[in-house]
Structure 1
Amino acid sequence: MNIKICLPEFGNEFIGEIEKFGKIRKFENNEDIINQGQLISYLPIVLNGLVKVQSQENGIQFLLYYLKEGSACIFSFAHLFSPRASDFSAVSVGETEMLLIPMDKAKDWLIRFPVFNTLILNEYQKHYDDLLQTTKQIICYKLEERLLSYLKNKSKFHNSKEFLISHRSIADDLGTTREVISRIMKKIEGDGKIKQQNRKIFLIV
């Protein structure tokens, strides 16, 4: 993926710096990008593909947000001025290409390139909204409503009403068990809101 195509607003001078000091890496499907507990040494930006950012507490794994093309991980940025073990993990969803920016360069570029500040602030706002919506769903909505909202968001990410995902993956993202998800999926299928075929889901609503 050409960095200029993915991040055209960065300009030639900044792109030149990124090409000189940044690193582009490709990840296969379901490959670990950041492991919970490791020290963060770079700021990742998605050039192509999709990344799932999640966390685990007391053996329960739950989804934080997704990163799409042109998005940066704000949780990594939070470690920029306070190096410590990460309290989250990131994994690729399908083949994914990432731009990895060294943390020392990220600090320098925040001062030298205002457009980089704009990117980070926009990402903070976007993922703050995501996390706020997730919190509202946990507090105010039943699991069935959360599941339908989750499936609709999945559909948007894939740009299709049809996509592949296992009940186990859904359960991990929503912080519940596979058995509970399977039971609710069967119910909403009976309600005519989805269709299932093996791991393939067809969203109707």
Structure 2
Amino acid sequence: MIQELKSNYGHLFEEALLNEINQVGTYKEVSEGSKLMDIGDYIKAMPLLVSGAVKILREDNDGDELLLYFLEKGDTCAMTLTCCIGQTKSEIRAIAEKDTKLIMIPIQKMEEWSSKYKSWRNFVFNSYHNRLNEMLETIDSIAFLKMDERLLKYLNEKARVSDNNIINNTHQEIAYELHTSRVVISRLLKKLENLGEIELHRSHIVIKNI
């Protein structure tokens, strides 16, 4: 685990902190589609991503989901940090976008490391900043972009995160994450295909212009 830590976080953390993470962290592998955290869960550990990607979702009162942002290698989740500090229940759902490797850090270490290691404190602040910017982008997309623009942005982001221009999600799954209906998504996907942005196939979507 120490080699993966150094490879992904060696440029951020000093040697002493990397060794502590190696001592107290728990290595975890999750397969694509696995749920890492659900709304209402108490959080006992925060994740450091070693590889893969995790999508963070919010849910409304009717059970409909909205994609907030993706976590990638070298990231952690600001929403998890907030819940850890306040010892409150999770307000987000985290699902592996693809096969993912993580190191889970006990929440008891967060405050200790924040006072002990400047690099950890900076990492936490930067994580808050980056996730806030990503949520603001999501809000801007909802408020200012037309649904076809949101859909194309969503498809390009999924292709970038998975490093694959083939999207295997169903029209219904895409509709859930964009908080709209399957009929709307199917109509807009056909429009994007006519514009030459994508190719629609029976079981997948190909992004042509990433």
TM-score above 0.5, yes or no: yes
Once the two structures are TM-superposed, the CA of residue 25 in structure 1 deviates from its matched residue by 0.6
Deviation at 1:134, TM superposition (A): 1.1
Identity %: 27
Query: What TM-score do you get using the length of structure 2 for normalisation?
Result: 0.92
Secondary structure of residue in 2 paired with 1:165: coil
Structure 1 residues not aligned, in runs of 5+:
none
- 1:175 deviation in Å? 0.7
Matched, 1:29 2:46: no
The letter for the 1-side match of 2:159 is S
1:65-121 deviation digits (Å, cap 9, x = unpaired): 100001000000011221111111101112111111100011111111111111112
- CA-to-aligned-CA distance 1:147-204 (integer Å, 9 cap, x gap): 0111121222133433332222211211112222111101111222110222322222
Residue identity opposite 2:8 in structure 1: C
In the alignment, which residue of structure 2 is the partner of 1:49? Answer: 52
Give the corresponding residue for 2:72. 68
Q: Is 1:123–2:127 an aligned residue pair?
A: yes
- Aligned pairs for 1:90-109 (under 5 A) are 90-109=94-113
2:22 paired residue among 11, 15, 19: 19
Number of corresponding residues = 205
Q: Are 2:4 and 1:5 aligned?
A: no
4+ residue segments displaced more than 6 Å: none
Question: Does the 8 A contact of 1:50 with 1:93 survive in 2?
Answer: yes
* Structure 2 unaligned regions, length at least 5: none
- Please report the TM-score for the alignment, with normalisation by the length of structure 1: 0.94
Match of 1:39 in 2: 42
Q: Deviations over 1:38-79 (max 9, x none)?
A: 111111111110101111112211111100001000000011
1:50 counterpart SS class: strand
**1:162 corresponds to:** 166
Correspondent of 1:135 among 136, 139, 142: 139
3-state SS in 1 of match to 2:102: strand
Q: Counterpart of 1:81 in 2: which secondary structure?
A: helix
Question: In structure 2, what residue type is equivalent to 1:8?
Answer: G
**Equivalent residue letter for 2:166:** E
Residue type at the aligned position of 1:4: K
- Corresponding position of 1:84: 88
* Secondary structure of residue in 1 paired with 2:86: coil
In structure 2, give the amino acid aligned to 1:112: K
Contact map agreement 1:33 1:90 (CA 8 A) in 2: yes
SS of the residue corresponding to residue 122 of structure 2 reads: helix
Contact 1:25–1:99 at 8 Å: present in 2 too? yes
What do you get for the CA RMSD once the two structures are aligned?
1.4
SS in 2 for 1:78: helix
